[in-house]
Amino acid sequence: MSAKTNVVKFTGGLLVVATLVVLWNAMFIVRPDQFAIVTQFGEPKRVLGDDEGPGLYFMTPFVQSVRYLDRRVHGWDDSSRDTKTLELRTIDFTAFARWRIDPSTPEGVDSGPLKFYKAVRTEKRAAGVMDSIVTARIQAAVRQEHLASVVRDTGRTFDERAELDLKTLIHDYEECRPETNEAIRAILGEKRGQDATQQEGQPKRSKIVDEILADANQKLQSEFGIEILDLHFKYLNYSPQVHSKMIEMIRADREKDISSYRKAGKACLGSIDQIKERRLGEILGERDRTVRELRGEAQATAIKTKASAFNSDPDFFRFLETLQLYRESLAAKSTLVLSTDSPIFSLLHDRDLMTTVKKRELKTKKSE
């Protein structure tokens, strides 16, 4: 009886252990940061993702097994590479991206986790797929764009800068403003034309990156179950071969700027000189006219005064004029050889000439 009891206990124990083993192999837990793929003899049968959510699940033990996929966001860093732009200028770039397993489950096709499991299975192989697909898309996009479009995200045009700089330099001179000066306006128009030939691409790096992201995602999601969340250039610069050429282009562009400013300065100076000469001529002409008018008025007043004096007392006027002649001629250090009978000395030896003057003076004193 005891032996039979022991057998029963042993058998019961084995059944309990077997049941526990079966239950242990039938249960599995899916964490919030995981996808679970249930396979049967290696073939995927069930995908546990967003629809089911994390938790405890069961499967057929010893027949089915579970594979876990990391659903967290991963980083991808591309190795340093180079490519050519539309104008055949070589640039070096390094890209980085953040990606995850596509959680979408569209009807009629495999879900993102199932595509990932079938195509790559591991993050390392996924990085290799992105190396080939994303890098190829970047190189293809860069080859279709100008250098300025790739390296710049914002930009300015020369005509805005030139007009602003010129107005800052010559804004005090109305004659030099493009609105009123045809020469300045022509110089600005010429520079705008030169700048239009140089600006062969609009700054649109962000737009290019968005297009690369959309194109790469279309292939990665449809074939590999990989979704790129963000893509950027970690490093983007001219290659050493292009750097010296770019410096030379910048120098040539600055020389053209300087030449344009000099042309505008000469045109402005010419306009100012013309206005100066015109205004100076007007001022000098007005001055000469005023001088002539004043001189004429003075001469007329002097003649009128002399005529009035002569008419009022001719003898006294002659007397004063003779004295004035003596003062101006005899006072100077000069030698004159004249006869004493000369009319000039008549006042000195002809006493009768003083008679009317003396009488006039006496009458004046008596009246006082």
Distance CA 44, CA 54 (A): 19
Angle at the Cα of 205 (from 250 to 192), degrees rounded to 5? 45
From residue 222, alpha-carbon distances to 44, 70, 116, 206, 331 in Å are: 18, 19, 10, 24, 124
The two three-digit tokens of residue 222, written as one number: 């449809």
Q: Where are the domains of the chain?
A: 2-70, 73-154+199-238, 158-191+244-312, 313-368
Mark out the alpha helices in 54-204 (DSSP H runs). 112-119, 123-143, 147-151, 158-170, 182-198
Q: Tell me the average confidence (pLDDT) per consecutive run of 10 residues in the chain, 368 residues long.
A: 67 73 79 90 83 81 88 90 84 92 79 91 92 92 86 60 55 64 68 51 81 94 94 84 77 79 77 83 91 90 80 73 72 66 64 55 48
Angle at the Cα of 284 (from 273 to 175), degrees rounded to 5? 25
Strands (E), the chain: 27-30, 34-40, 43-48, 55-58, 64-70, 74-77, 81-84, 90-101, 226-238
Mode of pairing for the β-strands spanning 27-30 and 55-58 = antiparallel
Residues 95, 135, 208, 99: what is their CA dihedral angle, to the nearest 10 degrees?
-60
| CB-based burial label for 304 (10 Å; 0-12, 13-18, 19+) | exposed
CB-based contact 237:91 (threshold 8 Å)? yes
CATH classification code of 73-154+199-238: 3.30.479.30
In the prediction, which pLDDT does 351 show? Answer: 60
Helix (H/G/I), strand (E/B), else coil: 70: strand
Distance CA 75, CA 98 (A): 5
In the prediction, which pLDDT does 196 show? Answer: 46
CB-based contact 93:77 (threshold 8 Å)? no
Give the DSSP H/E element, type plus range, for residue 274.
helix 240-312
